[in-house]
Amino acid sequence: MFTGIVEELGSIAAIEEQADAIRLTVRGPLVVSDAAHGDSIAVNGCCLTVTDHDAETFTVDVMKESLDKTSLGALAVGDPVNLERAMRADGRFGGHIVQGHVDGTGVVRSRTPSDHWEVVEVAFPADLGRYLVPKGSITVDGTSLTVVDVGPDSFTVSLIPTTLDATTLGTKQPGAPVNLEVDVLAKYVEKMMQR
């Protein structure tokens, strides 16, 4: 489990194409500082398993299912990525419950800067709209954010300077794909209400 509080802005060091998967090597000295084989690290909000590491990088395998459901397949060597280690049981819970199980990809539609923050509009797949509410939680590329407003096919978030500086969301331009994970509690409530 994760919290959506990005620990480090890493970068893609290498990509190895495989028949129906890719192997990513990610530069992230902070998140790899205590990594062990089998640990979970969220890369742009996608929970991945460490298969190898050194003092600066870690390697993960990304299967076809993850490539189909996330924007990880669009990454190139040198691209920045948001990184977060799995939450420790004795750690602070700074964001919201994030599983690292991406529900779909959205697209940055627009950016509206102001003096102290920036409003970013993100288009979402139609099947995710029912889980989005103003002041609710959403994970965008692994970053826990509060929804400002929800339209028929997009939502907005306001990004403070820290988020703009410390995550990929500071540089994502209109047209860029982003991984979305809706609040898992909303999905459980929906399931219970169907019974």
**Token pair 């990610």: residue:** 26
Per-residue model confidence (pLDDT) at position 89: 78
Task: Select from 120, 125, 100 the least CA-distant residue to 110.
Answer: 120
Nearest of 143, 164, 151, 99 to residue 124 by alpha carbon: 151
Locate all alpha helices (DSSP H) within the chain, ordered by sequence.
29-32, 64-69, 161-166, 184-193
Residue 191 is predicted with a pLDDT of 84
Contact 149, 159 (CB under 8 A): no
Taking 70 as the pLDDT cut, the residues of the chain under it are none
pLDDT of residue 96: 81
Contact 5, 94 (CB under 8 A): yes
The CATH number that domain 8-85 falls under is 2.40.30.20
Per-residue pLDDT at 94:
78
In the prediction, which pLDDT does 193 show?
A: 87
Alpha carbons 23 and 12: distance in angstroms, whole number:
11
pLDDT the model gives residue 93: 76
What residues does CATH 2.40.30.20 cover in the chain?
8-85, 104-193
Distance of CA 71 to the CA centre of its chain: 10
User: What fold does the segment set 104-193 form as a domain?
Assistant: Elongation Factor Tu (Ef-tu); domain 3 (2.40.30)
- pTM given for the model: 0.93
